[in-house]
Structure 1
């Protein structure tokens, strides 16, 4: 069955759910007192690399730092409030302060939705929700829930859009010995982008979750349109070169408002009292503005009381660049090559780390990552000095990360 037919079938099932009899109110629902719940979370994180001519960065999440150690990739603080109106509906708001991709630290509204129970096991949310592109999307900001200092950038850097303005449905059911969750969604989002605009529009997708005991499986697919309008110095220089060499048509593949993209992800997790095994694969496919790529990681941890050491291997690989130009040798060709390299995050890495559970609401994590960006890529790094003379691709870089995560 094609993906389009699958999405249409999910939509038809949801329309039947609306036609089903509504959840019957209890005898005392009219007197149900509204209940307010407040919670918070935060991370204080520091990152440093052994080579001081490069910065570690999470593309689309934070702006490359200018200090060593750098606190911008992981440090954040958030607060969430939920108002339960009746047993069948509630309102949730979540605010967050962190450095974004435009180097701003202005507060962000990351959740703002109304949830309604439509039938037993079926709920609907309208407003701003978390876009569920990954297995761990729900805990991207609440890093205390994750075993590592941060989710692996080789996978979670493939799609920096985290918030979705739209509507979704979540259906829970029991199928034999398995618990299943079906999660269709529709909407769009935006992220701060240095000297430009980045928007995701008309996104239609569906996730399937399957769990039994210690094992869980995630499957997801989404597709839509996107805007990526660049205005940075390197892009403007490349656009000027293309214009002068009679290749102005290539500019439309570098920046604009008519891109299309699809995103697929598969994740598995197995965890008991002593061991934790997590793996995930994701693929981003685009027709312009951003490179098509895929990535995966595999993480294994072992608990010894309050301490869990872990090892993780990860890989991101370029599938296809988003444009092709033919320039004469010399400075124009070098500028074009630098532009493509700076937009390629392909790399491989090995991480050794440990998590120390201080309390039921606090954890300290430390990890060392040995990464090697591909020869024609910057990976998860950016030059701290001159773009033309700093070579990143093909080097082996060691990154040390330390964080304190809180959930209260």
Structure 2
């Protein structure tokens, strides 16, 4: 097994810092004293395939050198909140985890000023979490989630988690329903292997309706979309397309003039013993990325501190990034074009069986086994080891085993 000592040392150092913070006495009733909290996950994942890695697109660098791989799930987050006056406060959250550029540099994931405008109504300005998914608020705080990780078929469709902008949150009681309305506006940017992406003029609305044990989430967002690709594969393909008179197709592969929308519908039911969670999402894009749909359904049963669960998930390709008819006299270019589209298609189906053990009120140990089948023209949530140009992982099956230790403090 090959390990990356620098990355492990950083993670362990920050974990030690978190334990120190956990031991800090914050009981003093000083209104100007920051409230400190944190969360951490130490996770490991391995597959039974020697020709592919498991990856979480938009989260970790998709080509690790260790097996088991600690990069998809391990993270450490620290958060500080400070109340300024009775009706406003500021919050800062920093996160350390491997990102899509193979970096462990800490990054700010929340940084906002919140003002209460009226009973039940507040506004936040700065870097906020956008409610693209039902579980967006707890996406990093994995202790709050029943699984080792949220289903990648669904949560891999939108890697933008934070927005620099403004949002409003309004809580209301409507008959027997508790309602939360969450409109927002802003922009977001991420970097990944051989590229970078940005959402501009992002506006959307999240709605949560709760009655007793049942909760319903609805979300819709629209944005301008920029995605700039680079790297040898992209450069060779665009040059080849231009050489055969298909240069116009390249504007659908990379650029700053795209439009995208994202729709999500989620349902949770939890009576203290049984827990059922399901979510459906749809991404539409006019270029740069696929238009795809995905869903999952998960059910678990609590037996004291132990919760076994089973999940089914599916991602479907609705439209490829672009379409092009390569002349038959250029078979190498045609093969390269098909390989390019395949590498950017994450469609797959999976079944997961796992269990969660709540060791304490702030600590959970989880283990799960996933059997996934990649669509015949897709890499799914996997990435080939070795030479990407010669990769033949599409259409294969993979068995993935994952462990995680989740903490809050």
- SS across alignment from 2:146: coil
Q: Tell me the CA shift for residue 60 of structure 1.
A: 1.0
Q: Tell me the CA shift for residue 244 of structure 1.
A: 1.2
Q: Is the 8 A contact 2:51 2:393 kept in 1?
A: no
Residue 386 of structure 2 corresponds to which residue in structure 1?
Answer: 385
Q: Which runs of 5+ in 2 are unaligned?
A: 1-29
**CA distance in structure 1 between the partners assigned to 2:31 and 2:104 by the alignment:** 37
* Cα shift readout 1:264-298 (whole Å, capped 9, x = no counterpart): 00000000121000000000000000000010000
* Cα shift readout 1:202-245 (whole Å, capped 9, x = no counterpart): 00100111001111000010001111000022111111111111
Residue 36 of structure 2 corresponds to which residue in structure 1?
Answer: 38
Q: Is the 8 A contact 1:35 1:85 kept in 2?
A: no
Residue 8 of structure 2 corresponds to which residue in structure 1?
Answer: none
Q: Which runs of 5+ in 1 are unaligned?
A: 1-31
**CA distance in structure 2 between the partners assigned to 1:303 and 1:372 by the alignment:** 29
Q: How does 1:8-407 map to 2 (within 5 A)?
A: 33-64=31-62, 65-329=64-328, 330-407=331-408
**CA distance in structure 2 between the partners assigned to 1:308 and 1:164 by the alignment:** 34
Residue 8 of structure 1 corresponds to which residue in structure 2?
Answer: none
**CA distance in structure 2 between the partners assigned to 1:389 and 1:107 by the alignment:** 35
Q: Tell me the CA shift for residue 170 of structure 1.
A: 0.3
Change (3 A) 1:33 1:397: closer
The ranges of structure 1 where at least 4 consecutive aligned residues each deviate by more than 6 angstroms after the TM superposition are: none
Q: Tell me the CA shift for residue 391 of structure 1.
A: 1.6
Q: Tell me the CA shift for residue 93 of structure 1.
A: 0.1
Q: Is the 8 A contact 2:109 2:127 kept in 1?
A: yes
**CA distance in structure 2 between the partners assigned to 1:380 and 1:79 by the alignment:** 28
Deviates more, 1:391-400 or 1:75-84: 391-400
Q: Tell me the CA shift for residue 326 of structure 1.
A: 1.8
Q: Tell me the CA shift for residue 33 of structure 1.
A: 3.6
Q: Tell me the CA shift for residue 385 of structure 1.
A: 1.5
**CA distance in structure 2 between the partners assigned to 1:123 and 1:161 by the alignment:** 23
* Cα shift readout 1:95-131 (whole Å, capped 9, x = no counterpart): 0011001111111000000000000000000000011
- How many pairs align? 377
**CA distance in structure 2 between the partners assigned to 1:78 and 1:233 by the alignment:** 35
**CA distance in structure 1 between the partners assigned to 2:59 and 2:231 by the alignment:** 17
Q: Tell me the CA shift for residue 54 of structure 1.
A: 0.2
**CA distance in structure 1 between the partners assigned to 2:261 and 2:294 by the alignment:** 14
TM-score, L = length of structure 2:
0.91
